[in-house]
Amino acid sequence: MGAWGRRRAVAAALAVEVVLAGVAIGAARVTSPDLGFDYVPIRRVPATVAGPATGSYTWDCGRNEIGHRNTANIVVTPRRAGPPHHVHDYVGNLANDVGATVESLPGGGTTCPNGDESTYYWPVLRVVSDGADEHGGTIQVPAAVTLTFYGNPRSPVVQMPRLLRGTVGDAYAVTNGGALAAPVWSCAGDELRRAMRYPICPAGHRVLRIFDFPSCWDGRRLDSRGHRRHLIFPEPGGGCPESTFAVPRLEVVVAYAVPAGARYRIDTFDAQRHSPRTDHAFFVNLMPDALMDEVVECLNAGRTCVSSRG
């Protein structure tokens, strides 16, 4: 799907969700907390269709229980601190900090028992209490973080090169039209329902952020202007566009045990008004070659694998 096609798809999804959210918020006054227009009961969100079954490879890098957080963005603005109200959570590489560069990450240590030194990061999520200021709220430690690579249903995948950067979502979606926004919000048990609004989940079900990264590499660059042109999304049906190569498709699922009825929000830049449409995530690949070979072999054989290393 080209850029225009993605814009039309996002616009259509937003239009459907606006209608459904209007109904949902009305219903929420009776059956769910009325948290505002940025929230939608997940059962009011249409379910998507699951893609073709392919191989999968899952591994563990913790859930940032060690509190590795800062305002840096090593891909977009290396060596610079970001605004104090836009904090990132990290798993994986321990050297990703203010002042670091992508090139300085190797050898920095990792939270991944299998030796994966890649870095994976996204804005923190806060639970907001009454009377909290614009940037207030208690940072929530994820209840779980699941990292999974998937194969490509149309062709074998090739090794992801070291230091390849990937991004999904758009931190400026409120002010730039939202063409690159991604519906990442869901609830445990309803993973095929993806929203661009904060979901109101059934009692006892975790709030999910599901980051599905692009997986068609141009075969040359590790990064590009805007950080998107070198690694793009597959076409409908899963195949990669001409002149690109399928690499393992990364999915990061971040789960939170948000208290029932609580307001919550992600850290955003000021003009983005804590909008859930601005959610986004990044990775920089630093898997050891032997581990990446193991991933590729598993995916191309169509197996379901869990990392045995560590």
| pLDDT tens, residue by residue, 261-271 | 999 999 999 99
Apex 290 CA angle, 287 and 294, nearest 5:
90
- Overall average pLDDT of the 196-205 stretch: 96
pLDDT higher than 70, residue 84? yes
Whole-number Å distance between alpha carbons of 150 and 154: 12
Mean pLDDT score, 89-109: 97
User: Do the beta carbons of residue 239 and residue 172 sit within 8 Å?
Assistant: no
Predicted confidence band at 12 (pLDDT cuts at 50, 70, 90)? very low
Q: Are 210 and 116 in contact (CB under 8 A)?
A: no
Q: Supply 5's token pair.
A: 């096609």
Residues 21-65 pLDDT 10s: 333 333 333 345 556 789 999 999 999 988 777 999 999 999 999
- Please give the structure tokens belonging to residue 42: 């997940």
Span 124-149, average pLDDT: 90
Q: Mean pLDDT across the chain, nearest whole number?
A: 89
**β-bridge pairing 56-59 and 304-306:** parallel
Residue bearing tokens 């240590």: 109
Tokens standing for 252? 């990061």
- For 51, the token pair is 């893609």
Q: What pLDDT was estimated at residue 271? A: 93
Q: Contact at 8 Å (CB) between 160 and 147?
A: no
Q: What are phi and psi of 168, to 5 degrees?
A: -140, 145
Q: Which residue type occupies 33?
A: P
Give the pLDDT confidence score for residue 40 in this predicted structure: 97
Nearest-angstrom CA–CA distance, 95 and 101: 9
Q: Residue 265: count other Cβ atoms within 10 Å of its Cβ.
A: 22
In whole angstroms, how large is the CA radius of gyration of the chain? 19
Number of domains in the chain: 1
Give the structural domain span for 31. Answer: 3-306
